[in-house]
Chains A and B, each alone.
Chain A
Amino acid sequence: MAEIRVNPTRMEMKRYQARYQTARRGHKLLKDKRDELMRLFLDVVREDRVLRERVEAALADVYAGFSVAGAVSSPQMLGEALICPKTEGELSVGFRNLMSVNVPVFNLQIHTDGNTEHYNYGLAFTSGELDVAVAALNGILTDLLRMAELEKTAQLLAEEIERTRRRVNALEYILMPQYLEIIRTIRMRLEENERGNTTRLMKVKDMMLAAQLRQPDDADEDDPPS
């Protein structure tokens, strides 16, 4: 650890003791924050995982439907059939504060013209597989959005957790030991000074005693002090 030069005074020691207390409180708070973030994060990831498995399975069916539809009708016809969506979705984004991490919340409002069917094309020239695929795709729309929300949340939380963990570790393994070391050094120096002082006093006292002993009787001058 790098040596830090401080004045070995009581003032300085008090200051570092206060700093140490603050660091300890901060460390405890950050650790709590990290634990809570972790809990949230794991919940999000678990939900996302289930969702992703479902979406991936559903998408496989959707693609299968589209490729069959593509096989039985011409690509142009398929493109034409799909090109203008009937449902017009309006996506609004709100933000939610999770442990001071702002995560997006997606809200999709779908406007349809009263007709619940999703198909935006005439049924005459397209195959039934296409209808099924489009319907299936519509079915996973909310899952898709929820998945986007969760994955973004997971990413943001992961970043925050990493940052918080670094802070916790910096406090725990660098800053707090450093303060303790400084406090210890100052205390040692103060004690050492105190001892130096005491011995000096004792020495002076001895010298004074010797001088006093010498005063009344000058004959004993050569005697060493007791």
Chain B
Amino acid sequence: MYKIGIIGNRDAVQGFMALGFAVHEAGDAEQAARELHAMVRSGEFAVIYLIERYAAQLEEELARYRSLPVPAIVSLPGQEGATGYGMNSLRRAVERAVGADILFQDLPEERKG
């Protein structure tokens, strides 16, 4: 049986405790990276949510785990609202696969929250 984890700042993630997620608080991106590595290495997590603010700073770390089938590492907006990071990473995946962005032309290039 796998667990679902979430990494982020305290205010953003504590609500997810009510869902039974394994909540890992992180004060900064570095700490978030440490938590992330530990969680992936433990092999107990199938899904790890990461608050966008940190996900944006952990591109390299995320790229390392991108080709593994599990865990799925998914960014979620934090309390500051959606920064567009999640949509942008989706857009980048499309660009990578198709060679051109053919689905997100209607969105502005970099949405900043």
Contacts and interface: CB of A to CB of B under 8 A. Distances in A.
A104 B18 contact: no
A94 to B, nearest CB: 10
Contacts of B69: 95, 102-104, 152, 156
Contacts of B15: 62-63, 66, 82, 133-134, 137
Nearest to B99: A165
A151 B19 contact: no
A170 interface: no
A102 B14 CA distance: 33
B94 interface: yes
Contacts of B82: 56, 59-60
A158 interface: yes
Contacts of B66: 155, 159
Contacts of B17: 82-83, 85
Interface in A80-105: 82-83, 85-93, 95, 102-104
Interface residues of B, number: 40
Contacts of B46: 91, 93, 104, 106
A149 B94 CA distance: 16
B40 interface: no
Contact of A52 (B81, B86, B94): B86
Nearest to A133: B15
A88 B20 contact: yes
A56 B14 contact: no
A145 B2 CA distance: 13
> Which secondary structure dominates where chain A touches chain B?
helix
Interface string B11-43: 110111111100000000000000000000000
A145 B98 CA distance: 26
Looking at chain A, what size class is its interface with the partner chain?
A: 35 or more
A106 B12 CA distance: 24
B19 A87 contact: yes
A28 B11 CA distance: 53
A134 B77 contact: no
Contacts of A106: 46-47, 72
Interface in A109-157: 118, 120, 133-134, 137-138, 141, 144-145, 147-149, 151-152, 154-157
Nearest to A153: B72
Nearest to A135: B18
A134 B70 CA distance: 27
B14 A82 contact: yes
9 contacts: A45-B93, A66-B15, A79-B14, A82-B15, A137-B18, A151-B90, A155-B67, A156-B69, A158-B93
Interface of B: 1-4, 11-12, 14-20, 46-47, 49, 66-67, 69-70, 72, 74, 76-79, 81-82, 86-87, 90, 93-94, 96-99, 102-104
Given A52-B86, A52-B90, A55-B76, 7 more contacts: A48-B90, A49-B87, A49-B90, A56-B82, A85-B20, A104-B72, A162-B96
